[in-house]
Amino acid sequence: MINSIIDLQKFKDIIEYCKRCGFCLPYCPTYEIHRRIETISPRGKLLMSLGIITGNLRIRLRTAELLFSCTLCNRCSQACPAGINISDTLLRTRILLFKNKLLPHSISKIVSNMILERNPYGVDLNNKNFWFDFTSMEIENKANVAIWMGCTTALKRPELAAHVYEVVKYFEKSVAVIDNEPCCGIPLLYAGDLEGYYRSLKESLKAISTTKASIVITPCPSCLRAFRQFPQLFNVKVPFRVMHVIEYLWERIAKKKSMKLEYHNEVSVTYHDPCELARHMNIYKEPRELLKSINNINFIEMNNSGINSKCCGGGGLYMGFNFDKALAIASLRLYDVPKGVKIITTACPTCESILSVAINNSGRPLKVVDIVDIVHEILFS
């Protein structure tokens, strides 16, 4: 499997199916935000990848910067007549760039943060436990169900981390967490460091094994992919069931209509599909059914939702690579909020974080929350 990722002939073979029709162009958020310049389009990036493989385009730092101008949202693939999985293909290109030691400065910084501090933000790993202060519940380290919080939730949204823990604990007798949880390795994979991801994965699996859990729940779509999807690249079998917290809550609350929740007042909400949860992991139904099952919540679909959902700009390390442009993409996403809606829900700490900044900048009477926040509010108010 791993050999096929870095096999240039196979890589070339995939790109050769590209008909250069450009049908992907209107679906690319970075292309749009860069005023439609071809080098930032999915087609342009595939062509540059082909140029690099065939030796017709030399790799330099600028090439890498253009190729990293991508959120890996994969919306482009929905429009590709040739059926190319464009974000997977561009991930291969990143692996090639990493092998050639050509990474944009901000991406190199993320990689070095990962090496030095085992998280992409470069903060002391001890801060991963900071969210413990936000809950009065007892923290446990061994249980059948464990929470894998992920760097962004634990470090950037400690209140959400506490909410996740408390909500899961509402349903379980015992829930374990990992002291100084390491990173799942996804930032390294998205930087093109395939081996680095593998090392992180092994370290993460070892850390999880200390909890003795058979079910691991995470609020982060990237971490979910790190344990559910990408281990296949290395034929690694993950020895537990990994679930996104929304899948878990859907099973507990909405699947068998076993529990009826009621929000404290009537409110219209919409849902922003995180690209990694939706297009990459095919999780569309669960968040919708969960929201619709709650009394007093009037669920209205966002424009451009589901498989055609627009990206928030935060994925694929793009927020770390070019924050201003990522924020501009998030600001565009706000135009898809239907009239009358005051709350955008989502299920990804990165989406929530950047949409929240976009809302603050826009001055619009909107707020963005994780679905877990809503469930927590109902269960614990």
Looking at this protein, which amino acid is placed at residue 219? Answer: P
Task: State the nearest-atom distance from the C-beta of 268 to other proteins, in Å.
Answer: 23
DSSP tally for the chain: helices H, then strands E: 19, 8
- Gap between the Cα atoms of 313 and 33, Å rounded: 10
Task: State the nearest-atom distance from the C-beta of 319 to other proteins, in Å.
Answer: 23
Residue 48, interface with other proteins (CB under 8 A)? yes
Task: State the nearest-atom distance from the C-beta of 286 to other proteins, in Å.
Answer: 24
Nearer to other proteins, 93 or 345 (CB): 93
Looking at this protein, which amino acid is placed at residue 248? Answer: Y
Of 58, 101, 173, 237, the residue at the interface with other proteins (CB under 8 A) is 58
Q: Are 342 and 268 in contact (CB under 8 A)?
A: yes
If you count them, how many residues does the chain have?
381
CA distances from 361 to 289, 334, 348, 353, 366 (A): 31, 11, 20, 13, 11
Task: State the nearest-atom distance from the C-beta of 43 to other proteins, in Å.
Answer: 8
What residues between 194 and 233 interact with other proteins by CB under 8 A?
Answer: none
Site string for other proteins, 278-317 (x = CB under 8 A): ----------------------------------------
Task: State the nearest-atom distance from the C-beta of 51 to other proteins, in Å.
Answer: 5
Nearer to other proteins, 16 or 262 (CB): 16
Task: State the nearest-atom distance from the C-beta of 83 to other proteins, in Å.
Answer: 5
What residues between 80 and 99 interact with other proteins by CB under 8 A?
Answer: 81-83
Residue 10, interface with other proteins (CB under 8 A)? no
Instruction: Write out 8-37 in H/E/C secondary structure.
Output: HHHHHHHHCCCCCCCCCHHHCHHHHHCCCC
> Burial level of 266, CB count in 10 A (0-12/13-18/19+)?
exposed
- Residue 229: other Cβ atoms inside 10 A: 13
Residue 78, interface with other proteins (CB under 8 A)? no
Nearer to other proteins, 49 or 211 (CB): 49
Residue 30's Cα: distance from chain center in Å? Answer: 17
Of 2, 7, 60, 179, the residue at the interface with other proteins (CB under 8 A) is 60
Strand partners, 53: none
Bridging pattern class, strands 175-176 and 145-147 = parallel
Strand partners, 140: 176
Among the residue ranges 17-25, 143-151, 153-161, 210-218, the one whose residues contact other proteins (CB under 8 A): 17-25
- Binding footprint of other proteins on the chain (CB under 8 A): 16-17, 19-23, 25-26, 35-39, 43-44, 47-48, 51, 56-58, 60, 62-63, 66, 79, 81-83
